[in-house]
Amino acid sequence: MPVAVNRVAEITPAIDRAASVADLIELRLDYLSEDELATFGGSVDTLLDSSPVPLILTLRPADEGGRSNLDLARRLAFWSNLPKRSDCNFDLELSIAERLAGKLTDFDWARVICSHHDFASVPSDLKEIYRRMEATPAGILKIAVMAKDAIDCLPVFEILNTGNVRNRETIAIAMGEAGIMTRILGPSHGSFLTYGPTDSAKGTAPGQITAEQLRDCYRIDRIDEATEVFGLVGRPVSHSISPQIHNALMREASLNSVYIPFEVGDVDSFFGRMVHACSRETDLNMRGLSVTAPHKVSVMKHLDWIHDSAKGIGAVNTIVIKGRELQGYNTDADGFVAPLRERFGSLKKLRCAIIGAGGAARAALWALGKEGAAATLFVRDQKKAQATADSLGAEIESVSGADFKDFDLVVNATPAGTRGEFEYQSPAKAGQLRNVRLVYDLVYNPLETPLLREARSAGCETLGGLEMLLAQAAVQFNLWTGKKAEPKVARAAATEALTRMHHISTV
């Protein structure tokens, strides 16, 4: 767990707080001012004697993502003059380790982490950097690079494999949202450790997951080589609470499984290089995937078998991996229609307006057609969406300036309102929703969306997307595991996750 404070006097209390959940504490000395850093040496013995867990001392320079503005010469002097203890661990950048190797005999090099950080990308010469690190006497080698897509994690797993083969303790991490899988799965693939702050606001690198999340949600202490991996494929996925729901269900069922968010832009490369048994470059033991926007249609060409309902919908949101075969399903339709049946009973002849033309809209149209409802698709680009409307027997209209007064049900199947860049958008205003009986927003995070506020202002009944999410997740869980999802467990996990996200966004 990284500890980053601004004054030497704050270090001991921060260590005491972190030690309640940390196995190791990384003390980020670069967060101290130069004056504070000058006094640190005198406190080393006291800190080491009083710390309940081992400490790793780090002085990260600005060009490797830290806050220290000391030049190389002054950083070398700091490490050279720091009191050495046999029970202290050090994280030295490669440039420092290369210069100190052979010069300082009072370092216990077995307790030294030689590190390299790239906060911009995955460098093309990563293997050469690792070879330079191997040439130092450091006992542990660390590489942290920035991932912009899930496939950027592949070189990280390759480095871990190299460390395993060569019997060198290695830490390899992909930073950023796209690198989260390496933080969760890294230790089970040979990474010496992973990093987790006390809370997300105190993280010291992009994409860090809190220690509490790593242990409670992802059960990192239980992940091993036999752990079956499931996950969510999409972009963005950071807003999703599916990891909390599915990991809670897996824990309740005592399964050796974990569910991970996969930030995927290049879906073709992801399936070719990370999923398909015949072409994948690393084996993560994947057994199933959820699929969200914008990939519900584009994934279909990568599947070996597709259920008839998913074919009819023209979109897949669930993949079951059986041996070398990828099987596609769509659980969105069942999840979408279940809460509507509770509200309306029969949906026959219900007049429905669907805003959007993506995978979720296709599932809604297909489900409503099966129930005998009449649906109209409202979109920005009618020409582009015409094929979707025709294939599912729907009318099509422009959403620009639309009036929904003649509809019983209005459904938002667009990202508008989703936490993040779209969260202040609404696909319709109160004036457009007058006389509509029910407005159904498939967005679930946040629970209270701009569209739902507009609907209530217009006097409409409202329904949020959480009910659909839970219903379709239960079907997914059964497809993957053959077990029945426990509804109370799933709802409790979802509610807690949304409450936590709302709290973080408002502090």
Q: Could you list the active site residues?
A: 296
Burial class (CB in 10 A: 0-12, 13-18, 19+), 168: middle
CA-atom Rg of the chain in angstroms: 26
Instruction: Give the strands of the sheet with 55-58, arranged side by side.
Output: 2-3, 25-28, 55-58, 89-93, 112-118, 140-146, 169-175
SS3 188: helix
SS3 260: strand
Burial 178-193 (b: 16+ CB within 10 A, else e): bbbbbbbbbbbbbbbb
SS3 234: strand
Within 10 angstroms of residue 32's Cβ, the number of other Cβ atoms is 23
Burial class (CB in 10 A: 0-12, 13-18, 19+), 114: buried
Burial 311-330 (b: 16+ CB within 10 A, else e): ebbbbbbbbbbeeeebbbbb
Tokens of 192: 């010496």
Can you tell me the distance from the alpha carbon of 442 to that of 382, in angstroms, rounded to the nearest whole number?
A: 21
Burial 280-298 (b: 16+ CB within 10 A, else e): bebebebbbbbbbbebbbe
Burial class (CB in 10 A: 0-12, 13-18, 19+), 420: exposed
Asked if 220 contacts 187 with a C-beta cutoff of 8 angstroms, the reply is yes
Alpha carbon 304 to its chain's center: 27
DSSP 394: -
Can you tell me the distance from the alpha carbon of 188 to that of 260, in angstroms, rounded to the nearest whole number?
A: 14
Look at residues 224, 273, 218, 227 and name the one whose alpha carbon lies nearest to residue 248.
218
Tokens of 309: 């309902």
Asked if 218 contacts 184 with a C-beta cutoff of 8 angstroms, the reply is yes
- In this structure, is the dihedral angle defined by the CA atoms of residues 109, 110, 113 and 116, taken in order, positive or negative? positive
Can you tell me the distance from the alpha carbon of 167 to that of 140, in angstroms, rounded to the nearest whole number?
A: 10
Question: Residue 118: what residue type?
Answer: D
